[in-house]
A and B are shown apart, each in its own frame.
Chain A
Amino acid sequence: MSGQVEAPALREAAGRPRRAVRFSRRQLEPYALLAPAAIFMTLFFAWPAVQTLLIAFQKANGSWTLDNFGAMARDTDFRLALRNTLLVLVLIIPIETTIALLMAVLAQSRLFGRDVMLYIWSIPLAVSDLAAGLVWFSIFTSHGYLNSVLQDLHLIAHPVGFLDYNNLGGLVTAIVLAEVWRSMSLVMVIIMSGIQAIPPELDEAAESLGAGAWQRFWKVTLPLLKPTLQVALILRTTTAFQVFGVVLALAGSALPVLAVKSESWVTEYRNYQLAATYAILILVLSSLSTVGYLLFLRTPREVFQR
C-alpha cells in the first residue's frame, strides 16, 4: 500500500498549473497522514497476503503454474457456488439497505420509545455469526421453532423441510433472513451517521418550500447520503462475498458458496493452492463490485470541499 504513494504525487504536482510550487508541504501532508496506516497494513496484511496469493500460482512443489485456476473451475459445484454467492448477495444487499434506510428514517421521527427501539435495533451488531447461525437454524430446522408454531396452529400436519437440500427457495430465504438480521444494524448505524451530518437547514428549507416528507427524503436526504451509502454498500458487498458462518449453519453442503468452498480447501482437503485460488476469485469479485460502486455512486466532493 505504501509503494504507490510517492511517485504519482510528483506527476500530479507537475501536471497542475494551479500548484506551481513542487513538493509543497500541503502536497506531502496527505501521504504523511496515510503513512502510519500504510506501513502497518503492509507489515501485517499486504506482506502475508502477497505471500498467500502467490501460492495460487504455484504447484505443491513450488513451481509456477496456472493450473490451479483450471482445477478450481472444474471443482465439483464450483459454478453452483459462484451462482449461489451472487444470488444470496443480490438479495441481501438491496433488502438490508432498504430496511436500514427505513430504520434510519424512523429513528429520526419522534416516535415514543425511540431510545429503547434504537438500542434493540443495534443489538445484532454484537452477535457473532456463530450465534446467529445457531439461532436461525433452530428456527428453520424441521423440528424447529417455525414448524412448532405452524403445527401448534394446525396449519401443517408434518414438519416442512425449509432447509432440505432440494428446497432452494427455503435455503436461500433462511440464509438471506439470517444475514439481513445480522448485518442490518451495521448498515443502519452507518446510514444514521450520514443522516446526522446533513445540515438540518436543508431539510427545513425544503419543508418551507412545501416539500412533503417523501419528497424531502428523495430530493434532499438521499442525494446527500450518497457518500455514506457508498461506504455501507462497499463494505457490505465485500463481506457478503465472504458469507460463511450463516451458510454453514443453515445449509451445510446443500448450498455451496465460495467462502465455504475456500474454507473447506483449507480445513478439510488441506490444499492451500486451491484455497488461495478461491481467495483470489473472491478478492477479484469484491474489487470489481467496489469499483462499480465508486463509479456509479461517484460523489461530488465539491459540495463539501471547496
Chain B
Amino acid sequence: MLLLILACGGTPAPSGGATASTQTDVGKVEFLSSQGQAVNEAEGMRKQVLAGFNGTTDFNTSLTGAQMVPKLLAEHQASKVDIDLVGDIHGDMVPLQAAGALQDLTPLLEKLQKDRKFNSQLVAYGKMGTQKQYYIPWLQATYMMVVNKKALQYLPKGADVSGLTYDQLAQWGENMLKGTGEKKIGIPAATGSRGGLLSRFLQGYVYPSYTGGEVTGFKSPEAVQAWQMVKRLWAVTNPQSTNYGFMQEPLQSGEVWVAWDHQARLIDALKNLPDQFQAVPAPSGPKGLGFMSVVAGLAIPVGAPNQKGAEALIDYLTRPDKQKKTTAVVGFFPVLSDVSVSGKDAPPGVGVEAEAAIKQTNAKKALPALLPVGLGAKDGEFSKTYFDTFTRIALHNEDIQTVLSDEAKLLQALLDTAKAHCWPPDPPSTGTCQVK
C-alpha cells in the first residue's frame, strides 16, 4: 500500500466539484462525528471548514466512536434514524456495516471520482471486504514517533534519529536513563474509554518489523525475539505509561522525551512547542519498517432523513481545499492523492508529521501493515490479545513462550469464529488464517 502524500505541491485542484453544481440549500444535515471531538477541533470544523456549505450542518461530536456505534445500532434496530452523515474511523464502521446499518455509496463514489483522486487503498478499505462502497474515505493518518530535542544528545553512536532500529531505540532509552536517572521513553498503554493505542504498536509496528506479518508468526522464534526487545524497551520506558492515553501530554510535561503514538495524539506537542519537538518515523526491525495507516470515513446510515444533504456534504468535505483545511484543524492527512500538506505553506504540526510519514512510507525496508481485515465484530478482541500478551510478558514478567502459545490459541479462536483470511503483510491464505 502507498500512503500517497506527495511532497510535490502539484496541481491545485479546482474547488467545487462535479456534483457541487447545485447551489440550492440542501437543508440541515445531522453530521455525527467521532473525529474532531476536542473543543478546539470542533470549533475549527464549524467555523473554518463547514461554514461555506450550502446548507446547515449540525456538526455533532458529543459521542466517542465507542458510544456512537451502540447509538446507531439502536436507531437502526428501531428503524428510526435521525443521523444523516457519520464520520468515524474504519474500526467503528465494521460493526455498523455488519448490522446492515450503512448504505451502499458506490454511485456517489463514482460521481466524485470524476473530479478528484481518492487514494485507492483507502477506497478499498471502504468496501470492507465486499463489492460495495460502505464509506467514502475522509481523512487518513498513521502512527509515528515524536522526539524532544533534549533527548538527541543521548542517541546511541551512529544512530540516525530518522532511521532508528528497535535495538537502537532501547539503547537510547538506556542512555537516557543513565544520563538523567529517569525513564524517558513513553508508549500509550492505558486502557478503557481513554485508552492508548499500544495494541496497534504491537500489531502494526513490532510484529511486522520482526516477523514480517501480524498474525501468522505470532508465536514464532522471531516473535520471541520481538518480545525480548519489548521487554528490554519496557525496562527503560516510563513506568507510568500504563496511564498514558495521548502521548502529547507526557511529551509536553516532559515526563517522556521519546514517544510513539497516533499522529493526531502527538500533534499538540508539535503545534505548541515546534522548536522543542520533532516528528520521526517509527523504528525498524530485522524484517523491515512495519507501519500502519488508519482511515476515517464518511458513511450514510440506511434511512437517513436528509439523504441529499448528506451526499452534498460528503462532496463538500472531500473537495481538495476543504480537505486541506480539515487536515489543519484535526491533524490528520487528506485522502486525495493530489493534495499535499507538507512543504512551505503546511499547517503547523501537520507539515512536520507529513514529512515524517513520507520518510516512513518511502523507507527502503518499508513494510505497510493493514488494519485487521475480515474480523468483523471480533476486531476489538483481536487487539485485546496483543494488549494482554504485553500485560503478561512486560508487566507480569511471565515466560514469553508460555504466554505466546496461550494467547495464540485465543487468537486462532477469534480468526476461526470470524473465518478471516490472512491480510497483508501476512502471506495470503487459502482458508482461515492460521497462526503457525
Q: Is the CB of B192 within 8 A of A264?
A: yes
Within 8 A of A (CB), among B240-254: 240-245, 250, 253-254
CA distance A166 to B195 in the complex (A): 19
Interface string of A222-257 (1 = CB under 8 A from B): 000000000000000000000000001111111010
**Is B384 touching A268 in the complex (CB atoms < 8 A)?**
yes
Q: Are the C-beta atoms of A270 and B243 separated by less than 8 Å?
A: no
State whether the Cβ of A51 lies closer than 8 Å to any Cβ in chain B.
no
Complex Cα gap A261–B245 (Å): 16
B252's nearest neighbour on chain A, judged by CB, is A143
User: Would you call B240 and A165 a contact (CB within 8 A)?
Assistant: yes
**Pairs across A and B, CB under 8 Å, 7 listed:** A141-B255, A158-B181, A167-B239, A249-B194, A252-B191, A254-B243, A268-B383
Instruction: Give CA–CA (A252, B245) in the complex, Å.
Output: 8
Q: Using CB atoms and an 8 Å cutoff, list the residues of chain A in contact with chain B.
A: 60, 76-77, 137, 141-143, 157-159, 161, 163-167, 248-254, 256, 260, 263-264, 266-271
What's the minimum C-beta distance from A179 to chain B, rounded to whole angstroms? 17
A263 engages B391 (CB within 8 Å) = no
A246 nearest CB across to chain B (Å)? 12
B182 interfacial contact with A, CB 8 Å: yes
Point out the residues of chain B lying under 8 angstroms from A142, CB to CB.
238, 240, 255
Q: Give B182's nearest chain A residue, CB to CB.
A: A158
Check B381 for interface membership: any CB of A closer than 8 A: yes
| Contact partners of B242 in chain A: CB under 8 A | 165, 251-254
Contact between chains at B240 and A76 (CB < 8 Å) = no
A252 touches B95 (CB 8 A): no
CA of A263 to CA of B190, assembled, Å? 14
Residue in contact with B191 in the complex, picked from A158, A167, A253, A271, CB distance below 8 Å: A253
Contact indicator B380/A268 (Cβ below 8 Å): yes
Asked whether A161 and B380 contact (CB < 8 A) given A260-B192, A268-B195, the answer is: no
Complex contacts, B66 vs chain A, CB 8 Å? 266-268
Main secondary structure of the interface of B (DSSP, over half): helix
Is B58 an interface residue when CB atoms closer than 8 A count as contact? no
In the complex, whether B392 has a CB less than 8 A from a CB of chain A is: yes
Among candidates A158, A163, A166, A270, residue contacting B380 with C-beta atoms closer than 8 Å: A270
Contact: A248 with B239, CB < 8 Å? no
Among candidates A77, A251, A264, A268, residue contacting B243 with C-beta atoms closer than 8 Å: A251
CA distance A143 to B249 in the complex (A): 11
Q: Is the CB of A248 within 8 A of B194?
A: yes
Assembled-state Cα–Cα distance A77/B379 (Å): 20
CA of A148 to CA of B46 in the docked complex: distance in angstroms?
39
Interface string of B45-75 (1 = CB under 8 A from A): 0000000000000000000101101100000
Q: How far is the CA of A42 from the CA of B245 in the complex (A)?
A: 39
Residues of B within 8 A of A60 (CB): 377
User: Please, how many angstroms separate the alpha-carbon atoms of A253 and B244 in the complex?
Assistant: 9
Contacts A142-B255, A158-B181, A164-B240; A267 near B384 (Cβ below 8 A):
no
Contact B380 A165 (CB under 8 A): no
Residue of B at shortest CB range from A162? B240
- The answer on a CB contact under 8 Å between B245 and A157 is no
Q: How far is the CB of B202 from chain A (nearest CB, A)?
A: 14
Known: A141-B255, A143-B254, A165-B395. A267 touches B243 (CB 8 A): no
Instruction: Say whether B189 contacts A253, CB under 8 Å.
Output: yes
CA distance A131 to B381 in the complex (A): 30
A269 and B384 within 8 A (CB) = yes
Q: Would A268 and B69 count as touching, CB distance under 8 A?
A: no
Shortest CB distance A83–B (Å)? 13
Return the chain A residue nearest B380 by Cβ: A269
Query: How far is the CB of A228 from the nearest CB of chain B, in Å?
Result: 35
Cβ–Cβ contact B95 & A270, under 8 A: yes
Contact of B192 among A143, A164, A166, A248 (CB under 8 A): A248
Q: Which residue of B lies closest to A256 (CB)?
A: B191
Mask: chain B, 356-377; 1 = CB below 8 Å from A; 0 = not: 0000000000000000000001
Q: Is the CB of A159 within 8 A of B243?
A: no
> Considering the chains assembled together, what is the distance between the CA atoms of A142 and B244 in angstroms?
12
Closest CB of chain A to B75's CB: distance in Å? 16
With the chains together, A249 CA to B250 CA distance in Å?
14
B193 part of interface (Cβ distance < 8 Å): yes
Distance, CA A266 to CA B380, complexed state (A): 10
What residue of chain B has the Cβ atom nearest to residue A244's Cβ?
Answer: B192
Indicate whether B160 reaches chain A with its CB closer than 8 angstroms: no
Query: Across the two chains, which residue of chain A brings its CB closest to B66?
Result: A267
Max chain B Cβ within 10 angstroms of own Cβ: one of A60, A164, A251, A252: A252
Which residues from 377 to 396 on chain B have a C-beta closer than 8 Å to any C-beta of chain A?
A: 377, 379-381, 383-384, 387-388, 391-392, 395
Query: Which residues on the A side are within 8 Å of B243 (C-beta)?
Result: 137, 141, 163, 250-254
Neighbouring A residues of B380 by C-beta, 8 Å: 268-271
Name the residue on B nearest A80 (C-beta). B396
Evaluate whether A270 and B69 lie within 8 angstroms (CB atoms) in the complex, with A142-B255, A161-B240, A260-B191 already known: yes
Contact check, B240 vs A253: say whether CB atoms are below 8 A apart. Answer: no
Residues of chain B contacted by A163 (CB below 8 angstroms): 240, 243
The 10 closest A-B pairs by CB, nearest first: A252-B190, A267-B66, A164-B239, A253-B191, A254-B242, A269-B380, A252-B243, A76-B388, A165-B242, A270-B380
CA distance A128 to B196 in the complex (A): 23
14 further contact pairs, Cβ within 8 A, besides A166-B239, A270-B380: A141-B240, A142-B238, A143-B255, A158-B181, A165-B239, A253-B242, A253-B391, A260-B191, A264-B191, A267-B67, A269-B380, A269-B381, A270-B381, A271-B381
Residues of chain A contacted by B391 (CB below 8 angstroms): 76-77, 253
Q: A165-B239, A264-B192, A270-B379 are in contact. Are A252 and B181 (CB under 8 A)?
A: no
Tell me which residues across on chain A come within 8 A of B193, comparing CB atoms.
Answer: 248, 263, 267-268
- In the assembled complex, the CB of A126 is this many whole angstroms from the nearest CB of chain B, namely 22
CA distance A75 to B377 in the complex (A): 18
Specify which chain A residues have a CB less than 8 angstroms from the CB of B384 in the assembled complex: 268-269
Contact B395 A267 (CB under 8 A): no
Closest-CB distance, A55 to chain B (whole angstroms): 13
Q: Please give, as numbers and ranges, the residues of chain B lying within 8 Å of A161 by CB-CB distance.
A: 239-240
Interface-centre pick from A249, A253, A266 (highest chain B CB count, 10 A): A253
Q: Residues of B contacting A167 with CB < 8 Å?
A: 239
A256-B242 Cα distance, complex, nearest whole Å: 11
Query: B253 contacts A143, CB within 8 Å?
Result: yes
Complex interface residues of chain B between 243 and 272 (CB less than 8 A to chain A): 243-245, 250, 253-255
B253:A252 contact, CB within 8 angstroms = no
Nearest-neighbour CB distance to chain B for A61, whole angstroms, equals 10
Asked if A159 and B95 make an inter-chain contact with CB atoms under 8 angstroms apart, the answer reads: no
Residues of B within 8 Å of A268, CB to CB, are: 66, 191-193, 195, 380, 383-384
**What distance in Å separates the Cβ of A56 from its nearest Cβ neighbour in chain B?**
17
Cα A163 to Cα B241 in complex, Å, equals: 9
